[in-house]
Structure 1
């Protein structure tokens, strides 16, 4: 009956070629009736309310019952499968005590029944059913293959289920569809979708050959000239609305556009016989790949910038005339796979109310600009077919990282009310800029910011950052065609230190290797998370470390606010060796009459071995910084970038709280200053516990500082300690988050996660 792998492969390929969600589901049910040689196959998906299973597609039952028939969990055979999450294989379904006859489906003649649940990442997506007229169970072989098919289709169907595009349209339709994404810039916006560059991106280009290399080079050069003009115009158009260093992102794009790496790669492909579009596609892919494998999301986002530039170049290359000035509407929500700052520059800033990307991340340059302009933005939106919504009204909720399509008039009005309330709340937060983050009972918390670009400086200072808790020094290395020289690094570090002087700046030494690839120093490993990275890499490449230390120490000579931070420490001898190298470097610079001084030197606690060896390490360092993202990842053995287990990544897991408690205890006993950086420092619920734990320095993203400051100024540290003791009694993070959410509501701080719809 079954060809197993080949049959399954064929099914998946047919689904991938479907034009939309409805067509994809129709292909599934038709194909399965053929595979199992049955008259009926039906697909039920769980509705947005998560309380009912709705008939989403069928072959064999009445077509007009699609979208109209639904069952509660545990109602009927389908509902039973949804509740128990267990397959059901029956010879005579109507005789089962859970059978419910639904006249609209016209299923009276069918007895043979088999249904299996569709489960993705522990979540019920729906139920898949086949039916026949004979009165006998399906074979074990058929049941096993049905379960296999369901496991393979669940991930694909999850994106369809979440999109809501399968729901019926018309008088009985659901009012709206919610599409989940990643929070990039906070806020709420309502407006009309302006979908950019549909069906025109590098990934759509197919390989073509050319015999006229000079003509293809001319096509590329013309596109570069057009984009240079566009970026220059965009810088002047948006410049008055952006901080000076954020407007410098246009200069960064120009620098990347004019980089020899990009041009040389394109020229090489063209000389080998490629057309200019294919050469651009391959060159962009090669350059972006150096960033794509990085664990650090900030570094990974640089690959998006390269693809943004490549896509914009492609559009200029394929357009017979310069690209136009865009829509004249004043309430645009720009939407696309990836949106670059070059795309933003086509519009006047007052036109852009929000940004939606089906790709990308919160740390792209687009996200940085959106934050600086105060424009809500959501990246990585799943299950949204943009071409079906171009020009339609939509809503962006930057707090929850979602967008809403086909909203009702009542919903639009409600979100506009929330938008107004949110703007008033943000104005209220602005008044806290120069006030300390101090609890009601007088406990002071220092709020620092994380950065890696000069473009981040102004948002940090504007939002009241008291220094830099984490400066990622990898960026100059990853944007370079070779290891940057000491003088090149010196210029970058000096600008960063000077921008924050006299406030402290903790510069992390090079955290490269393993999964963070340099274009000129490739490292291949089976398990990069446990590989050659951080301090391991730099100690094995001492000359690189010495060069970087010399550049940092020289940059600090006349400013004096540098703090050195060592990443991924796992052994005591690593610290000892690093300290010897610093001392030798200081002596060498002094012999060259360079007036350098030894800065405070700290270590990051990111791996379990550092936690266990902390009492032995503390005498060697001046301060400690907890890397909450990596520490959570290693403690829980969860790759937060792996969608199969990402839901298990939570900073509030009880194991993480116990670990933090131990670190605080060790640091307090030795009198060692302690800080925490990462996403945990920007999570209002987590901050309640961090204050209770005794952490008095947090480093977080610039846009999160005002709300966390408001939170700290609204609570008492004694209450936070009591809350911590209650949280430590729970066995899982869901219970802890429920406790903390209730506390935030009790304190009247629910606005910290954005205003709630009424």
Structure 2
């Protein structure tokens, strides 16, 4: 029997090793021959071979078909048609690469005439270290050697090593190791090596010929991403060759003994992972692209990296200390004292930004008048929990358990689920964890459940609605959760509830499972039971739901699209999807007020929770908790402290009475401006006893401090505005004072920054060009004539020696602020 499935590749990076792994695993379940054909280029490849799939050069939006021939073609067709439509497009995500556009280098650096090599930006951050060259290992050194092991023996040893590494890894590292396991066990690679050996070639020659053939196929691809997979093939080949030839004196060990910047033509992922990251500060690579697995790992471990730099360009600087700036895309060779000072200062400022955010990590989230709102994290897998708490999470507001059930051929058993829930609860300590029961079906189908295809999956057979059909599956999950509940504060949330009948049915199943555990003498813990509020009908009977459950959590994404009847994934109507619609705000008010009228806890776990623009409305709505992605937690805690809860409450009620979305947005804009809590003059912008060596260092530090304090999010652009003014005329006013200034869109909070220097620096070539006191004005363009009024007022005051001497001799930041406020009537 022959069947064919037509589809369009929706993967942003095309079919490369990781998604090929997923497709290969599904196809391998069937005995039929399955071939992928790319209709754009007519390339074909076995769908049971990762490398053959990659070799088809299938890119985003390519039309394709899977040709299935064999006895079980009908069953394969049914599963693959659903898989390609529903799951395959989700098995990879677009890799965020750094913008390759031109970068304007800071004048504070360029004024020192640095020796720079411009490079491709791969991983942001600044690195300082001794330049160490990583010498490549040529695979050809094995060509004439006799193997000590067979191919199968070598492959088995490498497989065991990779599996051991995968068990200890997480995140991107784990995904890349899994992709390498897929390559190692690929039928194309195995058949080619075995074929060459059968034809009389040595194992080394067979592996080298196989690498050459596969590399040639990949290099013909029109995708730079797929070309970069060549390094993964060479990585696996090197591991096989070294394992099969232990007598050959070749080593990938590369010992770093001090802070180092490693330069290489390229590094394989395993070579990168073999470096001591306690000493690895940065990478300079000749050939690596933005999406190479080594670069992905560098980003994951926060290692600054650039590429496109020839080794010969840096050869004479080996052993010297230099700097790499991954954000600017530069390598600074033979840095002078002034250049080194610039980078040291930039690194210090970056640490200050990190420290400023960390101040909120362990603080209770609350408004400036002390109103507390819990800020929790949304997670999809166990490994995210520890990181979420390290980033300031006060609980887990949504544990999406369906991820445990996806990308596999059978459901996880009770023990596997128990281990996962227990791990998260133990990481949480005494903090609450909301475990959402499996939200599968509909737009998240599982092949092993054989759920029917639906035309409108968001409104269809999903979540709690499928539980009665798969009762054993639901009971297994409840058993695992109840057993794990002994290890922490456990809250269980049921998705897609729309009626009292449904929640009563769930409660009955809970009692059945508890009775089974009791009869089995299996210990279990107490839980709180809640529902996810996403279907609008719930809002109209909140009083009845409050009799049945302990808490509520609003899924703002689905609740918005259900209320407004808008498919947010449909480009034709997506513009109608907006959670600032007055109707949505009124629905939110109904849910929260309905819950709290009965002393019930209510949170919000949709994307809306991390939207800083909407935050004052959410505070005003009276929510007990907001849950979001972990990186948004500290900034949200910081933003909360700008708001007065009573003012937010009045804002929310006023927004509910608006007629249009535009009216709500205008109201929010006016409120945000009125609530700005960063005064023009503040001690956080006063730096005393500064040991600056130059005008450049003074401006770099003062502008950088505004970034640290959250007054600008575009430091380089604001600094460029300051230097643009300096290029027209010097802002040194004589008598040791300078007033660098700008009127700019790049400052969020208008600021007066002050630096008093321990020793004067040269500000201009004038006779009186030395400066020891800097007052920098960075004023927003929307502040009317404030810029000229303050500048002229300062200039007039600085004429007077008594004013100057007073500023020079004051001992504290607060004294200076108070004095300037009085003298300038600010």
Give the aligned partner of residue 459 of structure 2: 530
CA contact (8 A) 1:333 1:352 kept: no
In the TM superposition, what is the alpha-carbon distance from 1:506 to its structure 2 partner? 1.1
CA deviation vs aligned residue, 1:356-413 (integer Å, no higher than 9, x gap): 99779xxxx979x967x56799xxxxxxxx99899999987xxxxxx7779999xx99
Match of 1:578 in 2: 506
Please list the CA deviations of residues 30-52 of structure 1 after superposition, one character each: whole Å capped at 9, or x if unmatched. xxxxxxxxxxxxxxxxxxxxxxx
CA distance in 2, matches of 1:248, 1:387: 26
Corresponding residue number in structure 1 for 2:319: none
Distance in 1 of aligned mates of 2:616 and 2:661: 18
The CA deviation string for residues 254-312 of structure 1, in whole angstroms up to 9 with x for no partner, is 995799xx69984599789999999xx9xxxxxxxxxxxxxxxxxxxxxx9xx999987
2:235 corresponds to which of 316, 337, 340: 316
User: Counterparts of 2:582 and 2:280 in 1: how far apart (Å)?
Assistant: 46
Partners of 2:280 and 2:422 lie apart in 1 by 37
C-alpha distance in 2 between matches for 1:746 and 1:714: 6
Q: Is the 2:417–2:477 Cα contact (8 Å) retained in structure 1?
A: yes
**Pair 342,426 (structure 1): closer, same or farther in 2 beyond 3 Å:** same
| Conservation of the 8 A alpha-carbon contact between 2:162 and 2:177 | no
Residue 446 of structure 2 is aligned to residue 518 of structure 1: yes
CA distance in 1, matches of 2:170, 2:464: 32
After TM superposition, give the deviation of residue 530 of structure 1 in Å.
2.9
1:564 aligns with 2:492: yes
Q: How far has the Cα of 1:547 moved from its partner?
A: 0.8
- State the 1:731 CA deviation: 2.3
Matched, 1:444 2:363: no
2:128–2:282 Cα contact (<8 Å) kept: yes
- Map of 2:421 onto structure 1: 493
Q: Cα RMSD (Å) of the superposition?
A: 5.8
Corresponding residue of 2:397: 469
Matched, 1:428 2:356: yes
1:460 corresponds to which residue? 388
Aligned to 1:756: 714
1:551 aligned residue:
480
Query: By how many angstroms is 1:561 displaced?
Result: 1.6
Q: CA deviation at 1:659?
A: 2.8
Q: 1:252 to 1:742 in 2, by over 3 A?
A: same
User: Does the residue aligned with 1:450 lie in a helix, a strand or coil?
Assistant: strand
Q: SS where residue 613 of structure 2 aligns?
A: helix
Contact 2:532 2:552 in 1 (8 A): yes
**Is 1:632 matched up with 2:560?**
yes
Unmatched 5+ stretches in structure 1:
1-15, 17-158, 166-176, 193-213, 236-246, 282-303, 378-385, 397-402
1:542 paired residue number: 471
Measure the CA separation in 2 of the matches of 1:347 and 1:475: 33
Equivalent residue number for residue 25 of structure 1? none
Deviation at 1:190, TM superposition (A): 8.6
My pick for the range that moved more, 600-609 or 323-332, is 323-332
Matches within 5 A, 1:5-84: none
- Per the alignment, residue 661 of structure 2 pairs with 731
Distance 1:637 1:414, change over 3 A: farther
1:215/1:686 CA distance change after superposition, 3 Å? farther
Query: Would the alpha carbon gap of residues 334 and 270 (structure 1) be closer, same or farther in structure 2, given more than 3 Å must change?
Result: closer
Cα contact 1:569–1:607 (8 A) shared by 2: yes
Cα distance in 1 for residues equivalent to 2:302 and 2:621: 33
The residue that corresponds to 2:597 in the other structure is 669
Distance 1:228 1:589, change over 3 A: closer
Retained in 1: the 8 A contact 2:396–2:627?
yes
- C-alpha offsets along residues 82-126 of structure 1, whole Å, 9 cap, x if unaligned? xxxxxxxxxxxxxxxxxxxxxxxxxxxxxxxxxxxxxxxxxxxxx
Q: Given that residues 689 and 723 in structure 1 are in contact (C-alpha distance below 8 angstroms), is that contact kept between their aligned partners in structure 2? A: yes
Pairwise CA distance, 1:662 = 2.3
Instruction: Please list, as runs of the form range in 1=range in 2, the aligned pairs for 1:145-294 lying within 5 A after superposition.
Output: 224=159, 227=162, 256=178, 266=186
Residues 639-661 of structure 1: per-residue CA shift (max 9 Å, x gap): 55667776765544544433322
Partner of 2:810: none
2:622 aligns with: 694
Question: How many residue pairs get matched?
Answer: 508
Q: 1:414-442 CA distances to partner (integer Å, 9 max, x unpaired)?
A: 99977754531331343344432222222
- Give 3-state SS (helix, strand or coil) of 2:387's partner: helix
Residues 1:327 and 1:494: Cα distance change in structure 2 (over 3 Å)? closer
Q: In the TM superposition, what is the alpha-carbon distance from 1:503 to its structure 2 partner?
A: 2.1
Residue pair 2:127, 2:304 contacting (<8 A) in 1 also? no
* Alpha-carbon offset, residue 498 of structure 1: 2.2
Q: Is the 8 A contact 2:401 2:437 kept in 1?
A: yes
Tell me, what secondary structure is at the counterpart of 2:448?
A: coil
Cα distance in 2 for residues equivalent to 1:681 and 1:579: 29
**C-alpha separation in 1, matches of 2:665 and 2:576:** 11
Measured after TM superposition, the shift of residue 549 of structure 1 is: 0.3
Rg comparison, structure with higher value: 2
Q: In the alignment, is the contact (CA less than 8 A) between 2:391 and 2:630 conserved in 1? A: yes
Quote the Cα distance in structure 1 between the aligned partners of 2:666 and 2:599.
33
Structure 2 CA distance for partners of 1:312 and 1:571, relative to 1, 3 Å: farther
